[in-house]
Structure 1
Amino acid sequence: MKPVYTLAEALAQDPARAAKTQALTLDPSKPYMGLKGSHGLFASDEWWESIKAGRLQTQTLTGCIERTYFAGQDSRRGDQVNSFTLRLADGSTVDESIYTHRKHDIKLFVPGAMVTMVYALDELKAQPAADGGVNVARTVLEVYCVLPPHQPSA
């Protein structure tokens, strides 16, 4: 599988993102907004170590792209897509955004392609979730993609 996105690379390209997320965690005037910070501030060394050590739960989804589409209200050009429906092994589907660092990798996201997405499940300040469970932010850590056998490789 070809790696097309990592949070570490995205944060290196946009360091302000981590700083803004950390500031919201530390802001006592916003008790229902942002991450709780139980396993370290977002993208801090402690946070990454919590992921590595398994203290901060992660989730991995792998499946086959069923369809691609454009989501959102912005105007689009031509056949631009930014989202896809992923069919998982159990037959369920999830809708997800396309994450890549390089625009040319968007062409990897076609029906039939296999995708693996790894998420950090970081607890939010606002608790509990609507279903009574733990309310978490699903932060995309890594995305891998492989074209179906009949497709030319990128």
Structure 2
Amino acid sequence: MKPVYTLAEALAQDPGRIAKTQALTLDSARPHMGLKGRHGLFASDAWWESITAGRIQTQTLTGIIERIYFAGQDSRRGDQVNSVTLRLADGSTVDEGIYAHRKQDIKLFVPGAMVTMVYALDELKAQPAADGSVDVARIVLQAFVSTG
């Protein structure tokens, strides 16, 4: 499995994302928008430590690519893809975005390739979820894809 994305690298390339996300967490005028910040502000040392310690739960998803496609309404060239349908071990399917730092790594996302994605499940301000559970943001921490 080749690592093709890490949140840490993405944030290093776009440090403004940290400031914007943290500002929304701290904005009391927007009580239904953003992360709750109960275990540290997004991407702070406390937040990363909370992930390592398990206070912020993580989820790992692994599946085989069944289909690649473009999701969204923006205009695009015919060869662009940004999403995959994954077949999980239990036989179910899920649709996920493609995360890769380098454009050439997007070519690794082909039917039959295996993908593993690791998410942080960080609590949102707006609670509860429609089903009554704790509503969380699924934040991609890492993405890996098989290379052969």
TM-score range, shorter chain: over 0.9
Alignment RMSD: 0.7
More displaced 10-residue stretch of structure 1: 74-83 or 93-102: 74-83
What TM-score comes out, normalization by structure 2 length? Answer: 0.98
AA matched with 1:70: F
AA matched with 1:141: L
Q: Name 1:128's counterpart in structure 2.
A: 128
Q: Name 1:96's counterpart in structure 2.
A: 96
AA matched with 1:68: I
1:78, CA displacement in angstroms?
2.3
Q: Name 1:53's counterpart in structure 2.
A: 53
Which structure 2 residues correspond to residues 4-153 of structure 1 after superposition, within 5 A?
Answer: 4-147=4-147, 149=148
Q: Secondary structure at the match of 1:60?
A: strand
AA matched with 1:36: K
Q: Secondary structure at the match of 2:142?
A: strand
Structure 2 unaligned spans of 5+: none
AA matched with 2:84: F
In the TM superposition, structure 1's runs of 4+ consecutive aligned residues that sit over 6 Å from their partners are none
1:31, CA displacement in angstroms?
0.5
AA matched with 2:103: K
Q: Secondary structure at the match of 1:77?
A: coil
What TM-score comes out, normalization by structure 1 length? Answer: 0.95
Q: Name 1:152's counterpart in structure 2.
A: none
Distance in 2 (CA, whole Å) between partners of 1:79 and 1:91 is 28
Structure 1 unaligned spans of 5+: 150-154
Distance in 1 (CA, whole Å) between partners of 2:38 and 2:58 is 15
Q: Secondary structure at the match of 2:51?
A: helix
Q: Secondary structure at the match of 2:50?
A: helix
Identity %: 82
Number of equivalent positions? 148
Distance in 2 (CA, whole Å) between partners of 1:30 and 1:120 is 22
Q: Secondary structure at the match of 2:60?
A: strand
